[in-house]
Structure 1
């Protein structure tokens, strides 16, 4: 998942690093204007806002983000938040207000839960036949067998899963994996797809899990939450 962090003061100096260690792809913004620029130019799964923005009020940024990007996860993180501020942020559209520092695993879990629920998935484990993707644990399995993916291979799978079967262009995939970094040739997407398909085929999962369409992009069939097994009578 891609996470945009407004690292504007020492209050959240270690948060971006901590979330990076939790598996998020991090982009840091120094101002509210940079937040708007980054969100407009590439897909972000979630944004963490420091209330002490140097160029605008946090409530104004939250309001604009919520209006223009209704599915974007927005969290405010601060060392000190009054009850009045908390209420104001939530009313303007923030999904959560988190006091920092707290356990980084807790923040990561909250963010992942908000992202998958925004995408329409109530449960963290999604299934397509015998293939399952655990978004919270960042694991992919076929039946009882784990599928060992590189970080970028997993990010590609996760991005497609969260799109719910919609077609994703190669340009969108590249921006998700390499935003604001040195990007390789766009053909690298085909390399990743070939590698994932080979790993799936090696354990009998089949290669139709990832569907490519010339000139349009890539998609995965819609995954569903695991079926509940009825209790024995």
Structure 2
């Protein structure tokens, strides 16, 4: 999943970028409203985390411009403005969530996961294919034999495939979802991640198939 973080407090922005990156999210970070508007108009994001007190253009103006161009990315407002009228204004302009500073990191992570689940159109908190269950809240994989631990990038790829189980996920979508503008992901690297996931999942009734020349998909028919 790809996230744009718009935060002018640079130490906070750096900390949140690191936190989200460690969870396998691709994060592009900007520090003013004008840059956020340019980046948002040229790139696709699943979630925008948006401060309100920004240089050059305030966060509500950025949000208004997003919705005016039919940008359907989920938006979490992250701000020190906590008055009820501020919350109402942000939500009325199209924000999906509103978290005030200072905040608890675990709550922040939970809200991010919740917004990304809703963006993917998922109602259940767990997805099961074969003998493997993926908990979208804890982002943990379990089997009857126990849990499966994955590196962050493999976990992000598997989450993308699980949330689209039965549908082909193109290589282009994988690159867009798993990388920021400062990152890259070659076809060879994707194939390596897929190969590792196949080895981990095949003993548990999960088949990760290749749609030649297009991408990859998890076949629900392989359920044990």
User: Structure 2 length as normaliser, TM-score?
Assistant: 0.84
Number of aligned residue pairs: 219
Distance in structure 1 (CA, Å) of the matches to 2:132 and 2:125: 14
Distance in structure 1 (CA, Å) of the matches to 2:65 and 2:5: 17
- Once the two structures are TM-superposed, the CA of residue 78 in structure 1 deviates from its matched residue by 1.0
Structure 1: gaps (5+ residues): 224-233
Distance in structure 1 (CA, Å) of the matches to 2:2 and 2:43: 10
In structure 2, the CA distance between the partners of 1:11 and 1:197, relative to structure 1 (3 Å rule), is closer
Q: Would the aligned equivalents of 1:161 and 1:220 in 2 still touch at CA under 8 Å? A: yes
Q: State which drifts further: 109-118 or 12-21.
A: 12-21
Q: Which residue in the other structure is 1:69 paired with? A: 71
Of the two structures, which has the highest relative contact order with CA contacts closer than 8 Å and spacing of 6 or more?
A: 2
Q: Would the aligned equivalents of 2:46 and 2:116 in 1 still touch at CA under 8 Å? A: yes
Say whether residues 1:121 and 2:119 are aligned partners: no
Q: Which residue in the other structure is 1:216 paired with? A: 214
Distance in structure 1 (CA, Å) of the matches to 2:130 and 2:186: 33
RMSD: 2.6
- Once the two structures are TM-superposed, the CA of residue 197 in structure 1 deviates from its matched residue by 0.4
Q: Which residue in the other structure is 1:57 paired with? A: 58
Structure 2: gaps (5+ residues): none
User: Structure 1 length as normaliser, TM-score?
Assistant: 0.81
Q: Which residue in the other structure is 2:177 paired with? A: 176
In structure 2, the CA distance between the partners of 1:211 and 1:73, relative to structure 1 (3 Å rule), is same
Q: Which structure 2 residues correspond to residues 87-98 of structure 1 after superposition, within 5 A? A: 87-98=88-99
- Once the two structures are TM-superposed, the CA of residue 12 in structure 1 deviates from its matched residue by 4.3
Q: Would the aligned equivalents of 2:50 and 2:77 in 1 still touch at CA under 8 Å? A: yes
Distance in structure 1 (CA, Å) of the matches to 2:209 and 2:109: 30
- Once the two structures are TM-superposed, the CA of residue 87 in structure 1 deviates from its matched residue by 0.8
